[in-house]
Amino acid sequence: MYRFLLYHDKDAAYASKIRALTDLLEKINRKWEVDYRVLEAENLPNSQVERLKEDIRNTMPQLRGKIVSSRNKILPLSKSKNPNLTNTPILLLYHNERPINVFPHLLGTAYFDIEGALESIAKNGPRAHLAARGLLENPIQKILADDPSTLEDGMKFTDVDVEVESGVIDILLEDAENKFVVVEIETRAREAAVAQVCRLAASYCSTNKVSPDDVRKVIVCQQYDENVVKSCEGANVELYKVGIRRVI
């Protein structure tokens, strides 16, 4: 499930270009059924501005390259690391509510602008566009698929990107006691992730006639909000944090 958020300043010098970008988003919506929203900077509460900054930073750096403006390129974040909406609109692409790419950005010496990205997606669809750029493979998903015991001894791989009525399960595992494990992968886990993994688990149970007692709900993340721990405890969701440990 893909969606776009386009942020802009209606009084900026680029304001006349927003109509063309909106037309491209509408074209993608009609052809590929990708939802979108267009948001004006002056109507954003501080909390949403902070969320925008966080989502920009949470796109994978090795894939979206440079996002902080320099003398030569106008990019989503200003030199002070704030949204650079005075100088450029900002387009975020999400997959299953996870920010996966941002435009414009500078990858190596190649500059990827919003219009070019939207034209490519309008032609090929979001999945083909991202596959061509190597953006579909989630590193945590791949690690767990290749070696499920990373999560827990005795864990076995079942499937990835499992479609159920309420969405897509990032990875489905089976533990040593033959219980299914529904795993939601997040860069930063918020309360919405807890609700999401609960919905996915319930849908999986309903679709496959499995008892809820035989399904574990798991979130694997790099970071998490403080209130997520309490939410997980209340919803019987297991929370795992990915880390890097120095060996030598």
pLDDT digits (tens, 9 = 90+) for 169-219: 989 999 999 999 999 998 889 999 999 999 999 999 999 999 999 999 999
pLDDT band at 131 (very low <50, low <70, confident <90, very high): low
Q: Which of 73, 71, 61, 155 is nearest to 111 (CA)?
A: 73
Residue 59's pLDDT is 86
Count of Cβ atoms closer than 10 Å to residue 18 Cβ = 18
Angle at 29 between CA 63 and CA 75, to 5 degrees: 35
pTM of this structure: 0.61
Peptide bond into 104 cis (omega under 30): yes
Give the residue among 92, 106, 18 at the shortest CA–CA distance from 51.
Answer: 92
The CATH architecture annotation of domain 2-132 reads 3-Layer(aba) Sandwich (3.40)
- The conformation of residue 178, written as its DSSP 8-state character, comes to S
Q: How far apart are CA 219 and CA 191, in angstroms?
A: 11
The CATH number of 139-241 is 3.40.1350.10
Dihedrals φ, ψ of 165, to 5°? -60, -35
Please indicate whether the domains covering 2-132 and 139-241 agree at the CATH topology level. no
Q: Which residue has the higher pLDDT, 126 or 91?
A: 91
Check residue 29 and give its pLDDT: 97
What confidence tier does 28 reach under pLDDT thresholds 50, 70, 90?
A: very high
Residue appearing with tokens 């827990």: 152
| Residue ranges of domains in the chain | 2-132, 139-241
